[in-house]
């Protein structure tokens, strides 16, 4: 058999070669539309002081304000981000409105999100594997780590991965750990070394160039707080910490930042901030979101029974119609798990994704 996948056919079960009705899958309610942002080249050195006073920063647009991680609730305080880049760094400036600025974690690579924090997630290859995470609190304490793949498919964090060339600073408009007043905001400025993230890429392992697109998202973890003897702490009820709030730039669709397929897109351009361009997707983003939604149904949700099929079993899905496109999809049970293949009937790109969520793209004639 030259190709294990065939589009536009009915369900075929290898055992007995019995034809059955194609599988129906509803994914329209699970489609996420990631945010986009064009990252412009700097025209002058950027001083990492948490203030973003340079003209390049002033000429750069903020992202949309952060939303609740599930895209439903409006956060009680505003968060927004700007980005720039040069030959060596991706610059991130975040402004976090905050009435009570506090923090007590001072050890690098501790679990920073036990304080209110700001987090950056970067995937340079856009395949859901090998991505980095940076967390920082109002004290400027950093936690940096990488994952080989998301936690929900067995990903293992490497806390020993340190961004030795990372530059970071926090600026506080108000007072730190002082409950006697109401604060305005705290801001974070980062210079993230691009060479370290280039090492996480598939190929070529080089720093981004003009026109390259990566995946990125930002998270703000916010806790309700208690005060005891003038000291802030996470609030408890019944002896247990109240759950944190998670506010993000691009909607994750679930309370889980480790869904790289739902992160936003950034486009690196050699243009400067005063010469803006329009963001244009370089892949079929909607078909990919359909692919990821169907993958999650098979991996974790109502279609996970397919993983129990006999190795070599193939299924076709009924054509999936979402937002004006039609996607054909097929499933193959493999020795290691499964492979899902999709194609937009109007496009010539085929997507394959395996049980670990690793996606591949291939152009067809």
- Which pLDDT does position 365 carry in this prediction? 65
Better pLDDT: 202 or 191: 191
Closest listed residue to residue 190, CA positions, set 144, 157, 146:
144
Of 221, 236, 268, the last residue of a domain is: 268
For the beta carbon of residue 120, count every other beta carbon within 10 angstroms: 22
> What rounded mean pLDDT belongs to the chain?
93
Q: Do 21 and 68 fall into the same domain?
A: no
pLDDT tops 70 at residue 27: yes
Using a 10 angstrom Cβ sphere, with 0-12 exposed, 13-18 middle and 19 or more buried, the burial of residue 277 is exposed
Report whether the peptide linkage leading into residue 204 is cis, meaning its omega lies within 30 degrees of zero: yes
Of 268, 300, 319, the last residue of a domain is: 268
- Which pLDDT does position 363 carry in this prediction? 79
pLDDT tops 90 at residue 247: yes
Q: Do 345 and 245 fall into the same domain?
A: no
Residue 275 lies in a domain: no
CA distance 105 to 3: 55
Residue 31 lies in a domain: no
CA distance 212 to 325: 26
Residue 250 lies in a domain: yes
Domain that residue 122 falls in: 36-268
Better pLDDT: 265 or 17: 265
CA angle 174, 177, 178 (to 5 degrees): 65
Q: What is the pLDDT of residues 112-134, one digit of tens each?
A: 999 999 999 999 999 999 999 99
- Which pLDDT does position 272 carry in this prediction? 98
Q: Do 57 and 85 fall into the same domain?
A: yes
pLDDT tops 70 at residue 341: yes
| Total tally of structural domains belonging to the chain | 2
Contact 135, 119 (CB under 8 A): yes
Contact 95, 63 (CB under 8 A): no
- Which pLDDT does position 70 carry in this prediction? 87
pLDDT tops 90 at residue 57: yes
Q: Do 320 and 351 fall into the same domain?
A: yes
Residue 273 lies in a domain: no
pTM of the model: 0.93
pLDDT tops 60 at residue 4: no
Q: What is the pLDDT of residues 88-109, one digit of tens each?
A: 999 999 999 999 999 999 999 9
Q: Do 262 and 288 fall into the same domain?
A: no
Residue 150 lies in a domain: yes
Residue 6 lies in a domain: no
Of 233, 268, 303, the last residue of a domain is: 268
Residue 217 lies in a domain: yes
CATH code of 49's domain: 2.60.40.1190
- Which pLDDT does position 7 carry in this prediction? 34
């Amino acid at each position: 058999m030259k190709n294990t996948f065939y589009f536009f056919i009915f369900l075929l079960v290898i055992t007995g070669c019995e034809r059955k009705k194609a599988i129906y899958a509803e994914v329209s309610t699970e489609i996420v539309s990631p945010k986009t942002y064009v990252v412009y080249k700097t025209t002058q050195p950027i001083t990492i002081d948490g203030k973003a006073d340079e003209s390049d920063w002033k000429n750069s647009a903020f992202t949309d304000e952060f939303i609740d991680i599930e895209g439903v609730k409006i956060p009680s305080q505003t968060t927004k981000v700007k980005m720039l880049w040069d030959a060596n760094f991706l610059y991130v400036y975040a402004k976090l409105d905050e009435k009570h600025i506090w923090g007590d974690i001072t050890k690098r690579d501790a679990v920073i999100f036990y304080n209110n924090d700001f987090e950056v997630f970067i995937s340079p290859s856009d395949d859901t594997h090998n991505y980095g995470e940076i967390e920082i609190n109002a004290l400027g304490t950093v936690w940096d780590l990488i994952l080989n793949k998301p936690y929900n498919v067995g990903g293992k964090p490497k806390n020993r991965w340190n961004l030795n060339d990372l530059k970071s600073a926090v600026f506080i408009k108000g007072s730190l750990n002082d409950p006697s007043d109401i604060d305005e905001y705290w801001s974070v400025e980062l210079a993230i070394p691009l060479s370290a993230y280039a090492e996480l890429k598939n190929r070529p392992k080089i720093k981004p160039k003009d026109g390259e697109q990566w995946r990125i998202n930002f998270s703000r973890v916010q806790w309700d707080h208690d005060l005891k003897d003038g000291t802030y702490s996470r609030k408890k009820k019944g002896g247990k910490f109240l759950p944190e709030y998670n506010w993000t730039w691009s909607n994750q669709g679930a309370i889980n930042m480790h869904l790289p397929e739902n992160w936003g897109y950034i486009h690196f351009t050699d243009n400067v901030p005063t010469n803006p361009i329009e963001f244009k997707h370089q892949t079929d983003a909607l078909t990919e979101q359909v692919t990821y939604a169907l993958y999650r149904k098979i991996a974790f949700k109502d279609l996970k029974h397919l993983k129990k099929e006999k190795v070599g079993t193939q299924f076709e899905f009924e054509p999936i119609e979402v937002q004006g496109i039609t996607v054909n999809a097929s499933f193959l049970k493999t020795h290691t798990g499964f492979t899902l293949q999709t194609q937009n009937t109007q496009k010539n790109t085929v997507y394959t994704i395996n049980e670990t969520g690793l996606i591949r793209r291939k152009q067809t004639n």
